[in-house]
């Protein structure tokens, strides 16, 4: 076992001052057991902990580090921006450049509002949809996560068409009562909801590829169905692309799947590792936001120059301006790495006789220890979580850092090479045999 004396000391100290020793719950390793390691530094596709252990990183700060950690051009851009001032709260050229890059890259975004997290983006998108349509009710899907927004921290009601109950303490039932939680990848419950609540549903919000319960994909035709029914019923379709934006294609999942949502939320990659979120969509909807319209939204650090410098550099490095999406070499490489990892892990599981479902879309993947396909949260919950825990720790001991939960996605970066994929597959083959 790798001794992590310094990490354990830090975790003890951290728990004195920080709730659970962390600033975001999943980092506490409670889903896999044991103490989290503390990071000393990261570069490329690797992280080093405070005890000097090195790991190949497939979490990539939960998605943003698509170019690897400490990318030299991003570091230089942030250093240069910092020397000119770390925050202005005044319009600045960098936020205009970032907005232009987003609008030119994401097919359906004509105007954008930048904020500071994916949660803020999703919260604003919901408020904007309600303000634009004058309707209150929202449909979300079980297994999708849209940040810690009160009205979206909701679990399914007792009956298919009963409105949601809070999925967190501190969320009043009144905040949840306008949210309907339906099963992902099913059409009938969506039809029934619109039939039961005609003219009352403001929007459907979903992750077009669900990356917050492991990873499951939309069934063929399901996204098209959601687009059609929302158009027919006068509701907005919101794609939460905080994770998939600039990950699955330069224009996100909507470009990959050819669907035109009314609103899109972004985050993670567009911040180049610094705090950024964004809401974007058709100008006629977006112009309902203050100062032009009646839907209020604001933020002290929105358009922060350091975050803009990191994000602009990241999008430039991704080639969003220099290559047509279909032949962008960065995304072709990410697809290749994803396919290699998928093939290698599948073969390793087969050789070990361990039932493993690996769902993948581009450079995002999910692992489930089950022999049944996983298309929604119920399927995911049937997977063997104990086996995942043992696999996670076995891989960690082998120097491979996977997401510390069976219900998180994994990510690849342009800093991963064939060598890392091969060493990861070799490690998995050895660990799978012990499960
Ligand atoms: P943030 O507020 O954490 O920036 O974004 C919330 C959010 C919104 N929408 C989607 C699709 C997301 O994946 C997220 C955040 N993702 C999680 C990872 N599963 C962040 C990790 C964490 O909570 O620590």
pLDDT tens across 57-74, in order? 999 999 999 999 999 999
Query: Under a CB-based contact definition with an 8 Å cutoff, are residues 336 and 347 in contact?
Result: no
Q: What's residue 70's pLDDT?
A: 98
- Measured in degrees and rounded to the nearest 5, phi and psi for residue 240 equal -85, 100
pLDDT tens-place string over residues 98-133: 999 999 999 999 999 999 999 999 999 999 999 999
- Name the residue at shortest CA distance from atom 19 of ligand 1: 212
Per residue in 71-93, pLDDT tens? 999 999 999 999 999 999 999 99
For residue range 176-218, what is the model confidence (pLDDT) as tens digits?
A: 999 999 999 999 999 999 999 999 999 999 999 999 999 999 9
**Residue-level pLDDT at 386:** 97
pLDDT at 431 exceeding the cut of 80 = yes
Active-site amino acid positions: 145, 240, 268
Question: What percent of the chain has pLDDT above 70?
Answer: 100
Phi first, then psi, for residue 357 (nearest 5°) are: -100, 125
C-alpha torsion sign, points 310, 86, 42, 33: negative
- DSSP 3-state assignment of 399? coil
Of 345, 355, 342, 371, nearest to 435 by C-alpha is 355
Q: Omega of the bond prior to 291 within 30 degrees of 0, cis?
A: yes
Whole-number pLDDT of residue 1: 77
Give the pocket of ligand 1 (CB within 6 Å): 24, 26, 62, 117-119, 122, 145-147, 207, 211-212, 240, 242-243, 267, 408
The phi-psi region of residue 329 (left if phi > 0; otherwise alpha if psi is between -120 and 50; otherwise beta) is alpha
CA-to-CA distance for 68 and 414, rounded, in angstroms?
6
**What domains are defined for the chain?**
5-70+327-432 (3.90.1150.10), 72-326 (3.40.640.10)
CA of 253 to the centre of ligand 1 (A): 16
Mean pLDDT of the chain: 97
**What are the DSSP calls for 256-270, one per residue?**
HHT---SEEEE-GGG
Question: What does the pLDDT look like over 140-188, one tens digit per residue?
Answer: 999 999 999 999 999 877 776 777 888 999 999 998 999 999 999 999 9
> What's the confidence (pLDDT) of residue 353?
98
pLDDT at site 128: 98
């Amino acid at each position: 076992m790798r001794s992590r004396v310094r990490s354990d000391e830090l975790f003890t100290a951290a728990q004195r001052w920080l709730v659970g020793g962390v600033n975001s719950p999943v980092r506490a390793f409670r889903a896999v057991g044991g103490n989290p390691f503390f990071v000393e530094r990261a570069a490329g596709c690797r992280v080093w902990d405070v005890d000097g252990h090195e790991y190949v990183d497939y979490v990539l700060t939960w998605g943003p580090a698509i170019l690897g950690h400490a990318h030299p051009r991003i570091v230089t851009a942030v250093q240069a921006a910092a020397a000119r001032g770390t925050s202005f709260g005044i319009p600045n050229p960098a936020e205009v450049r970032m907005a232009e890059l987003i609008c030119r890259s994401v097919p359906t975004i004509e105007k954008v509002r930048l904020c500071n997290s994916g949660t803020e983006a999703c919260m604003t998108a919901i408020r904007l949809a309600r303000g634009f349509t004058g309707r209150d009710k929202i449909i979300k899907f079980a297994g999708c996560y849209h940040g810690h927004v009160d009205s979206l921290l909701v679990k399914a009601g007792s009956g298919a068409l009963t409105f949601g109950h809070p999925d967190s303490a501190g969320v009043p039932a009144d905040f949840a009562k306008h949210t309907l939680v339906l099963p992902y990848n099913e059409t009938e419950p969506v039809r029934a909801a619109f039939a039961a609540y005609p003219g009352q549903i403001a929007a459907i919000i979903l992750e077009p590829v669900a990356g917050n319960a492991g990873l499951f994909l939309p069934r063929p035709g399901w996204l098209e169905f959601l687009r059609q029914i929302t158009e027919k019923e006068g509701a907005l379709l919101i794609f939460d692309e905080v994770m998939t934006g600039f990950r699955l294609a330069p224009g996100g999942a909507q470009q990959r799947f050819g669907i035109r949502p009314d609103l899109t939320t972004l985050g993670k990659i567009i911040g180049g590792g610094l705090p950024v979120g964004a809401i974007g969509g058709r100008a006629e909807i977006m112009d309902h936001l203050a100062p032009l319209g009646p839907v209020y939204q604001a933020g002290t650090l929105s358009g922060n120059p350091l975050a803009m410098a990191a994000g602009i550099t990241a999008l430039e490095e991704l080639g969003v301006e220099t290559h047509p999406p279909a032949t962008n070499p960065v995304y072709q490489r990410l697809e290749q790495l994803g396919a290699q990892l998928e093939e290698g892990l599948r073969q390793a599981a087969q050789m070990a006789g361990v039932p493993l479902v690996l769902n993948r879309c581009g450079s995002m993947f999910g692992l489930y220890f089950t022999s049944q396909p996983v298309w929604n949260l119920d399927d995911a919950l049937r997977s063997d979580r104990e086996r995942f825990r043992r696999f996670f720790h076995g891989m960690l001991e082998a120097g491979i850092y996977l997401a510390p939960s069976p219900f998180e996605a994994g990510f690849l970066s342009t800093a991963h090479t064939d060598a890392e994929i091969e060493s990861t597959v070799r490690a998995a083959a050895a660990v799978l045999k012990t499960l």
